[in-house]
Every structure is written in C-alpha cells, then in structure tokens.
Amino acid sequence: MLKISYSKSLLVACGTLGLTLAAAAPASAQLERALDVAKSSTAQSQSAQRQVDSADDAAGSMKREYLAVLQQKDNVELFVKQQDVFLESQSSELSSLRLQLDTVEQTKQNMTPMMLRMVIALEDSVESDLPFRLAERRGRLDRLKSFMGDPSVTPAEQYRQILNAYKIEVSYGQQLDAYEDSHPSDPTRFVNYVRYGRVAFLYITKDESEMGRFNMETRQWDEVTASEAPGVRRAMRVALKESAPEMVVAPVVIGGN
C-alpha cells in the first residue's frame, strides 16, 4: 500500500511540476517579446532622435547659409554704391579732361606767337645792351631760335629754355664780372674786360697802358681818365678774385660827358 501511495505522490508532484513549467514557458516568451519590443522602441527612439538632430543641423546650416547670403548681399550693395561714387568722380574727371583737351590746341596756338615775341624782345635787349660776352649771349639766342623751329621740342620745353635765358640776362645786372677777350678795335690783341653789372663796362690792356669805357649813348669807347684808372684796377682785381671783396666805384657817363 505504501509503495502505491509513493508512486501516486510522485505522479502528482510530476504533474504539478509539469503544470508549473507549462505555465512558466508562456511568461518567459512574453518577457522576451517585451524586451524585444523595448529594444525596438529604443532603437526607433534613437533613430527618431537622430533624424530630429539631423533636421536641426540641416535647419541650422540653412539658417547660417541664409545669414551668409544676406551678409554677402549687403556687401555687394555697399560695393555697388562705392563704385557709383567712383564712377561719378571719374565721369567728372573725364569731363574736365575733355574740356582741357579741347583747349590744348588753342593754348598752343596762343603760346607759340607769345614765345616768338619773347625771343625777339630778348634779342633786341642783347643788341641794345652793353656789349659784354656777346658771343656767349648771341649763341644762346641762336639755340633758342633753333628750339622754336624744332617740332620735336615740346612747347613746355621751349618755354622753359626761354625763361632760363631771361633769368641769365637778369643775373648779369647783379655781377661784378671780368674776363679776357679781343680788343674792341683790334681783334689781334687781347685785353681784360670788367663789368659793373649793367652800370659800366670797361677794358684794360695787359700792360694797363690803355683803358676804355663803353658809352651807351654814343655806342662808342671813351678813354678812361687818370683819376678813374685806380678804381678800375681795383675792380678788376676783385672781379678776378685776386683781391678781397671791397666797395668799388664804377666810372659812369653822366649827361653825355
């Protein structure tokens, strides 16, 4: 009897365990499915978040691009306005240049006769002046005439040369000058000339036995008096830098005497 009872008990226990295992099997499967669902949901959430982040990045990138385009637009507008100012300035300058070009020929036509008159006036002044350094001064006038007849020399250069010649002539009136040249009436003899600016012009022979003074009124050479000779000698030494500078008296003609 006892053996039978144990067998029944064992059967009952086995049956109970079977029921328990049978009942546990669906719960485990449900847990696995729940975990799978959670994993899937998490993956979907992460994917959705990545899509949101990507959309945010795209939106931020588009916004930055939009702002950059706006900045570039402002820069272009500013550049265009600046170019408009430059164009207006250049337009005014072009108008001024056109006006100047229109007057260039007229200016050249007016300058040429004026410069020719200046050369003629200078030549007349040299020929009517004291006859000092005539070869040098006439040579300068010949060069001026050559410049005026040379088409390769610009009007500006011609005018510069004329002004320079005038300046040199003006400077002669401020100098005490001495130099050697041929005798006024005997080209075979050489004498020393001394000039007191444009006040007086004299010559002295090498042996100082003869002295002459140019008379502007008669255009002739007058003899220097004995009382004037020492002053002439001093002026000659000062002009030749053989003596220290000092005040010298110029012998001049007064009232034709």
Q: Which two tokens stand for residue 229?
A: 């000779």
Phi, psi of 220 (to 5 degrees): -125, 170
Q: Which two tokens stand for residue 100?
A: 């100047």
Is position 111 within any domain?
A: yes
Give me the pLDDT at residue 10, please: 44
Give me the pLDDT at residue 25, please: 55
Q: Mention every residue, 6+ apart, whose C-beta is less than 8 A from residue 245.
A: 238
Using N-to-C axis directions, what is the helix angle for 134-148 and 2-128, rounded to 10°? 130
Q: Mention every residue, 6+ apart, whose C-beta is less than 8 A from residue 256.
A: 217, 218
Q: Which of 18-22, 70-74, 119-123, 224-228 has the highest mean pLDDT?
A: 119-123
Residues 145 and 180 in one domain: no
Mean pLDDT calculated for residue range 212-236: 91
Q: Which two tokens stand for residue 181?
A: 């040249």
Residues 236 and 186 in one domain: yes
Of 155, 172, 189, which residue sits at a domain end? 172
Is position 2 within any domain?
A: no
Say yes or no to pLDDT of 57 above 90: no
Say yes or no to pLDDT of 3 above 50: no
How far apart, in whole angstroms, are the C-alpha atoms of residue 192 and residue 15?
Answer: 164
Binned at pLDDT 50, 70 and 90, residue 11 comes out as very low
Domains contained in the chain, number: 2
Domain range for 156 is: 104-172
Is position 45 within any domain?
A: no
Residue-wise pLDDT for 145-173, tens only, equals 999 999 999 988 999 999 999 999 999 99
Residues 149 and 164 in one domain: yes
How far apart, in whole angstroms, are the C-alpha atoms of residue 140 and residue 114?
Answer: 19
Specify the pairing of strand 190-196 against strand 176-182.
antiparallel
Of 148, 172, 196, which residue sits at a domain end? 172
Residues 181 and 253 in one domain: yes
Please tell me whether residue 38 adopts helix, strand or coil conformation: helix
Please tell me whether residue 214 adopts helix, strand or coil conformation: strand
Please tell me whether residue 221 adopts helix, strand or coil conformation: strand
- Which DSSP letter does residue 198 get? T
Instruction: Report whether 232 contacts 249 (CB < 8 A).
Output: no
Phi, psi of 136 (to 5 degrees): -65, -45
Is position 17 within any domain?
A: no
Please tell me whether residue 168 adopts helix, strand or coil conformation: helix
What is the maximum span of the chain, computed from C-alpha positions, in angstroms?
Answer: 196
Binned at pLDDT 50, 70 and 90, residue 26 comes out as low
Of 152, 172, 192, which residue sits at a domain end? 172
Residues 220 and 200 in one domain: yes
Burial 131-160 (b: 16+ CB within 10 A, else e): bbbeeebeebbeebeebbeeeeeeeeebee
Please tell me whether residue 135 adopts helix, strand or coil conformation: helix
Residues 109 and 123 in one domain: yes
Please tell me whether residue 116 adopts helix, strand or coil conformation: helix
Give me the pLDDT at residue 255, please: 55
